[in-house]
Structure 1
Amino acid sequence: MFNHTTLIIIITVIVSLLAWQNKAVFNRLIFYPPAVKNGQWDRFVTHGFIHADGMHLLFNMFTLYFFGRAIEGLYQSFLFGYGFVVFYVLAIVVAMVPSYIKHKDSASYLSLGASGGVSAVLFAFILLAPWEKIYLFAVVPIPAILFAVAYV
């Protein structure tokens, strides 16, 4: 059986591939403030499951894979075992709120990607294990807390 991190990655890859193949799907899932104002609130979630291109998808899913697996177990006892999934989805939503407030009247603003959720997972790991080594560019080991400071 898959863990929730792997399941989120599989769903995200499938949805991104489908969106790349079908412009109507892509346009329906992307975060677009006028559509949200017209009642399509689901875009607060759906934008987190599509990506601009393969590198964008790979970077987000690579990060999610390692850090999601590292912290997922901490959420397992919450919400009938779905605490990590809820945390991840809520992080995608919460990360978009400031952008929505700033761009709510902009017909030219579009946003997509799982970066809000992935960043929340990454920083949850850093909060729980601040002195654990994170490998910058997969080569240079630095303590997680220093990575957080540099990231911010």
Structure 2
Amino acid sequence: MAEEMTGGCQCGRVRYRAMVEDDEAYLCHCRMCQRATGGVAIAFKSIEKARVTWEREPDLYRSSPIAERGFCSKCGTPLTFWFPDAPRMDLTVGSFDDPYRFKPTEHSACESWHRDWLDTSHLPASRTDENPNVVRRWMEKVGKLPD
């Protein structure tokens, strides 16, 4: 059964509602996604375009001769990837208000992946509230840590 989920960009200018059928998502490692995000991969949720309603449409960038990417021109958040002639689109998992539901089920464009970044669970980890420089700055400016 479909569940309505909401999401948007970091500054809140671009918002959407999506009717989501399942928890499946994927990681794309292609060079275009790496360059578009500045990361080594991007997490996407594939969904039918007709199941997404925009409160405010994203700005579009023709990222290649075959595809477009939606983003917020105010804060720079990457939001979508799509082929203009296809019925489906990809929403960035991180742009959902509650992204924790989604589980990666596959890798795309593995010819470009950085193997050292695939499993980093063995690395030391720290919480935001354990970093005094970050805590001090948030407390001085906002009075609390971000969600």
TM-score of the alignment, normalized to the shorter chain, above 0.5: no
TM-score calculated relative to the size of structure 2: 0.22
TM-score calculated relative to the size of structure 1: 0.21
